[in-house]
C-alpha cells in the first residue's frame, strides 16, 4: 500500500511539473528595483558608479519549458565622471533616464508556483532625460554624449515564489558613448540590476 501511495504521489508531482512546463500560458505583472551603472574608465576620464532605479511592467509567454518575456520600464542610470585639465579637476554628475524595452528568451524549471528561470536577449533604450552638470562650453570634453537610442544585451536569472519573482541581471552596452563631441575617447554603459516582480494575473 505504501508503495502504491508513493508511486501515485511521484506520478502526480511529475504530471504537475510537466503540465506546468508544456501548457501554453501568459503572465503579466509589475516590477521595480535598483541598478548599478558601470562606466569603464577611459584615458584621462575616471568614473564612480552610482545606484539607480528600475520600474515598469513585464509580460511572459511560455510553453514547452521555454518563454518569451518582453518588458517595458523606466531606468535611471547615474554616474559621476571626472577629468583633469590644467591641474583643475572637473566632475560631471550624470543622470540619464531612459525607457527600456528588453526582449528576453529563456527557460524555467520548477512547478506549483516555485521555480528558477534563466534568460537572455537584446534591449533597446530610448533616452527620456540626459542631465549633466558640466554646462560650460570650455569643458564640453567631459560630457557624455548619450544617444537618443541605445542598445544592450541582457543576461540573467531569477527565482519564482508564487506571485513574486526576484531577478538578478547583467546588461552589457553594445554602442559606444563618447566623452565630448570629438569622440576621441568613449565608454559603454554596463548595468547590474536587482529587481522584485509581482504577477498581477496569468492565463
CATH number of 122's domain: 2.40.160.20
Please, what is the average pLDDT of the chain?
Answer: 82
pLDDT at 70: 97
Q: Rounded to 10 degrees, what is the CA torsion of 58, 63, 66, 71?
A: -10
| C-alpha span between 124 and 200 (Å, rounded) | 25
Among 48-52, 57-61, 62-66, 87-91, top mean pLDDT goes to 57-61
Question: What's the mean pLDDT in 117-134?
Answer: 91
Residue 56 has pLDDT above 80, yes or no: yes
pLDDT band at 135 (very low <50, low <70, confident <90, very high): low
User: What angle (nearest 5°) sits at the alpha carbon of residue 34, between those of residues 134 and 142?
Assistant: 15
Q: Please count the helices (runs of H) and the strands (runs of E) in the chain.
A: 1, 12
Q: Which structural domain, as residue segments, surrounds residue 98?
A: 2-202
- % residues pLDDT > 70 (the chain): 80
Q: How many independent structural domains does the chain possess?
A: 1
pLDDT band at 120 (very low <50, low <70, confident <90, very high): very high
Amino acid at each position: 500500500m505504501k508503495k502504491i501511495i508513493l508511486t501515485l504521489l511521484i506520478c502526480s508531482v511529475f504530471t504537475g511539473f510537466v503540465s506546468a512546463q508544456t501548457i501554453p500560458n501568459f503572465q503579466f505583472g509589475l516590477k521595480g528595483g535598483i541598478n548599478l551603472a558601470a562606466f569603464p574608465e577611459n584615458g584621462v576620464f575616471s568614473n564612480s558608479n552610482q545606484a539607480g532605479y528600475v520600474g515598469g511592467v513585464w509580460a511572459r509567454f511560455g510553453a514547452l519549458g521555454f518563454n518569451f518575456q518582453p518588458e517595458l520600464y523606466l531606468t535611471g542610470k547615474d554616474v559621476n565622471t571626472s577629468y583633469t585639465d590644467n591641474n583643475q579637476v572637473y566632475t560631471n554628475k550624470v543622470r540619464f533616464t531612459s525607457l527600456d524595452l528588453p526582449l528576453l528568451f529563456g527557460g524555467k524549471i520548477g512547478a506549483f508556483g516555485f521555480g528558477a528561470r534563466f534568460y537572455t536577449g537584446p534591449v533597446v533604450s530610448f533616452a527620456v532625460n540626459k542631465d549633466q552638470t558640466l554646462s560650460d562650453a570650455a569643458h564640453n570634453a567631459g560630457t557624455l554624449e548619450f544617444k537618443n537610442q541605445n542598445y544592450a544585451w541582457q543576461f540573467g536569472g531569477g527565482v519564482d515564489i508564487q506571485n513574486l519573482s526576484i531577478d538578478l541581471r547583467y546588461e552589457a552596452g553594445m554602442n559606444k558613448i563618447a566623452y565630448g563631441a570629438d569622440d576621441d575617447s568613449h565608454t559603454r554603459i554596463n548595468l547590474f540590476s536587482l529587481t522584485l516582480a509581482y504577477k498581477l494575473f496569468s492565463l
